[in-house]
Amino acid sequence: MLLELFEPYLFFISFLATLILNVYLIYKGTVWYNLIIANAILTITMNMLGLGAYDLITVAFTSIIDLIVSLVSSLAGVIGDIIASVVKALLPF
């Protein structure tokens, strides 16, 4: 019930929580690996609560992985086409 009430605002709330956590840790003067650990804990907590679809880090990471997979598959297709045309030119039968 409460989740349905805040559903339109959950991405903004997640973004704000991530931003506040990172600004607080940066202002406190922590080192970079503490930022990574704190963001990982925040992401794990949000995923355990069922809010992984609204977590900024999870959404960004998933988008980056999807982009890398599409680029690699496109590159593999282009390289396969080049190899096929070279083999076809060398072996005309």
Q: Provide the b/e sequence for 50-70 (b: ≥16 CB within 10 Å).
A: ebbebbbbbeeeeeeeeeeee
Query: Is the pTM for the entire model greater than 0.85?
Result: no
Q: Are the C-beta atoms of residues 24 and 38 closer than 8 Å to each other?
A: no
Please write the tens of the pLDDT for every residue from 47-89. 888 877 777 788 888 899 999 999 999 999 999 999 999 998 8
Please write the tens of the pLDDT for every residue from 1-30. 777 888 888 888 888 988 999 999 999 998
Q: How far apart are CA 22 and CA 6, in angstroms?
A: 23
Reported in sequence order, the residue ranges of 1-93 that DSSP labels E, i.e. its strands, are none
Domain that holds residue 81: 2-90
Number of folded domains that form the chain? 1
